[in-house]
Amino acid sequence: MNSRIWHIATNTFREAVRDRVLYNLIAFALLMSGAAVLVGQISIGIERLVVINLGLTAVSLFGIVIAIFIGIGLVSKEIEKRTLYTVLSRPVRRWEFVAGKFFGLSGTLIVNTFFMAIGVFVALLYVSHSFKHADTGILIALYFIVLQFLIITALALLFSSFSSPLLSAVFAFALFVIGTFAEDLRGFASLTHGVTRWLATGAAYLVPNFSALNVISQVAHESSVSRQLIAYNTAYALVYTIAVLSATALVFERRNLK
Amino acid sequence: MHAIEILGLEKTYSIGFWRKRPKRALHPLHLAIEDGEIFGFLGPNGAGKTTTLKMLMGLVFPSGGSARILGMELDDPRMKAQIGFLPEQPYFYDYLTARELLRYYGQLSGVDSRQLSSSVNAVLEKVGLRDAMNVQLRKFSKGMLQRAGIAQAILHDPKVVFLDEPMSGLDPMGRREVRSLIEELKEEGKTVFFSTHILSDAEALCDRVAVINLGQLRGVGAVADLTSGVKGKVEIVWQGSAVPAAIKSSGGETHVAGETTRAVISEQDQDAAIDALRRDRLRLISVTPVRASLEDYFMAQLRLGAEEAVTR
């Protein structure tokens, strides 16, 4: 990473910390401790399943909300407040700015996920008193959640580079919801014929496949996640993220900052 | 080599939602600014000053023409490392302290990390923010933000400094400090290009000025050269409080003070006014030419521009 991207990324991280984004961890901690105590009392034999399901879903939702609501302002807020003028009048290329913003928010989300993951494991330990070998699957699920964050951050950044924050939020959230049902969309596309099939298949493959990145239920039921899926999801998330970031850079390179 | 060379730079925006129509923000602009010069870019609000500066900074892309700064293209990072820019009404990352902000900008400008702390401290001292260096910018007044803006523009010791309305929002003390800061920059051999609509500042500071209105360059040159072509005014003082009709109708300003009356009228009405005083048997005390100011030149150019726009 070149030094300018690094400095923009660290400044973005600092902004998130000072804007008290990490305060969501308090809400998460309260949720997990409440859930652990409650689950211990009302569910017999399935405490682990409930805590893992609830914990990982919360990690995912908290992160997605942060990725969308901070991501949509990463570029548009800088244009609106004109803070961008004093950055781009320096030897900083526009694509470097985009990359720095992406890494900064991704770093914030990874740190956030790290602390939330500790919360999940502590709650799990509270309800089951020990860890099992199958619990390593939770780490894989968390890794996939982080991959989802990378994709949604890149998408929020793309929308932020040409649209208003409100529209960007709508677009990013809609894509997240559609992406969650990407496998169903692909199945639907395979049932159609002719031009419709081409169009439906194209659309199904264009939206991010978040369903392949969701193994929460599988992990909660102690099923193993194949190495092949880990490799596939890693490659998919990286290629998708790089493609979206490249599109963002292309759009932003041509934009007049009026 | 010129410090700044603008060759026919122009900008046309498309406005409207369904039926787009062109709106020219800047007609082809030709300017050459010498090394070490303080150059004032004058014009009323909406004249095209900020659009020109944004194009030079690579924030807005020109529709035509080109420009070079220090002999380099506008997108050359080597050139950008040697320029400083203060935008109009600057707004900075308000969660940072002044010191953190300047460190960040210094890092982006490629200031050596070993020199960064001393450069930041020196520039904070220079703009009078040393005592507020650890205060978050969200607690800064408008004047303090302007100073922070100037600090970030000169932090990395640039060769050319662009200032967009550097005096706006400052009290008279602040304006005087910024003026002396700009003079210091000139003494250090830097080229300063600043836009303003405060003509007294430009008159006091600039080696040369350019006047722009409705996106068109109306004139460029040294203040004395530009104002010499403006038809001057004369001040006539006479005894008594009566004002002859010929002076009243000339449209000049008249003030009665005790036993004397003073009128400032245009040079061309001078003879008619003196004849009128004689006819009314009023004793003439003095006739003094009033030197044309940059404001007179500026106003004359704006009037000319408006007349041309009407005839078009």
Q: Which of B26, B52, B57, B59 to mutate to test the interface with A (most CBs of A within 10 A)?
A: B59
User: What amino acid is encoded at B183 in this protein?
Assistant: E
The average pLDDT across B184-198 equals 92
**Fold of the domain built from segment(s) B4-228:** Rossmann fold (3.40.50)
* Helical pair A165-180 and A136-160, crossing angle rounded to 10 deg: 140
Which among A15, A90, A257 is the nearest to B95, CB-wise?
A15
Phi, psi angles (nearest 5°) of residue A207: -75, 150
The average pLDDT across B59-84 equals 95
pLDDT confidence of residue A228: 95
Which pLDDT tens digit goes with each residue over B93-144?
999 999 999 999 999 999 998 999 999 999 999 998 999 999 999 999 888 8
pLDDT at B229 over 70: no
Which among A19, A87, A257 is the nearest to B108, CB-wise?
A87
Which among B54, B80, B91 is the nearest to A257, CB-wise?
B54
Structural domain boundaries of chain B?
Answer: 4-228, 233-291
Task: Look up residue B72 and give its DSSP letter.
Answer: E
Determine contact, residues B203/B51, Cβ cutoff 8 Å: no
Residues of A in contact with B87 (CB under 8 A): 82, 85-86
Give the gyration radius of chain A's Cα atoms. 20
* Three-state DSSP state, A242: helix
pLDDT at B68 over 90: yes
Determine contact, residues B160/B70, Cβ cutoff 8 Å: yes
A13-22, A105-114, B107-116: range with lowest mean pLDDT: A13-22
Residue spans of beta strands (DSSP E) within chain A: none
Tell whether B91 is within 8 A of chain A (Cβ): yes
Residues of B in contact with A82 (CB under 8 A): 87, 89-91
Residues paired with B5 in a beta bridge: B32, B68
Q: Do B95 and A81 touch (CB under 8 A)?
A: no
Tell whether A133 is within 8 A of chain B (Cβ): no
Residue of B nearest to A19 (CA): B95
pLDDT confidence of residue B143: 86
Which among A3, A83, A91 is the nearest to B93, CB-wise?
A83
pLDDT category at A56 given cuts 50, 70, 90 is: very high
Q: Do A7 and B107 touch (CB under 8 A)?
A: yes
d(CA A253, CA B200): 39
Residues of A in contact with B193 (CB under 8 A): none
Q: Do B59 and A92 touch (CB under 8 A)?
A: no
pLDDT at B312 over 70: no
Tell whether B14 is within 8 A of chain A (Cβ): no
Which pLDDT tens digit goes with each residue over B9-20?
999 988 877 777
Sheet-wide strand order for B253-257: B253-257, B260-266, B233-239, B284-290
Q: Do B93 and A4 touch (CB under 8 A)?
A: no
Q: Do A254 and B61 touch (CB under 8 A)?
A: yes
Q: Tokens 């039921």 sit at which residue? A: A221
pLDDT at B287 over 70: yes
pLDDT confidence of residue A185: 86
B71 vs B256 pLDDT, higher one: B71
Which pLDDT tens digit goes with each residue over B200-222?
888 889 999 999 988 999 889 88
Query: For residues A77, A80, A81 and A85, what is the CA-based torsion angle, rounded to 10 degrees?
Result: 100
pLDDT at A200 over 90: no
How distant, in Å, are the alpha carbons of A40, A73, A199, B23, B64 from that of A194? 54, 41, 9, 46, 47
Architecture of domain B233-291: 2-Layer Sandwich (3.30)
Tell whether B54 is within 8 A of chain A (Cβ): yes
Tell whether A250 is within 8 A of chain B (Cβ): no
Q: Which of A2, A20, A86, A253 to mutate to test the interface with B (most CBs of B within 10 A)?
A: A86
Residue of B nearest to A17 (CA): B95
The average pLDDT across B233-261 equals 85
pLDDT confidence of residue A226: 92
pLDDT category at A26 given cuts 50, 70, 90 is: confident
pLDDT at A1 over 70: no
d(CA A208, CA A189): 15
Residue of A nearest to B96 (CA): A15
A80-94, B82-96, B250-264: range with lowest mean pLDDT: B250-264
Q: What percent of chain A has pLDDT over 90?
A: 58
Residues paired with A180 in a beta bridge: none
Residues of A in contact with B149 (CB under 8 A): 86
pLDDT at B3 over 70: yes
The average pLDDT across A134-152 equals 94
pLDDT confidence of residue A47: 81
pLDDT at A110 over 80: yes
The average pLDDT across B11-30 equals 87
pLDDT confidence of residue A127: 84
pLDDT confidence of residue B247: 85
Tell whether A88 is within 8 A of chain B (Cβ): yes
Which pLDDT tens digit goes with each residue over A64-73?
999 999 999 8
pLDDT confidence of residue B230: 65
The average pLDDT across B186-194 equals 94
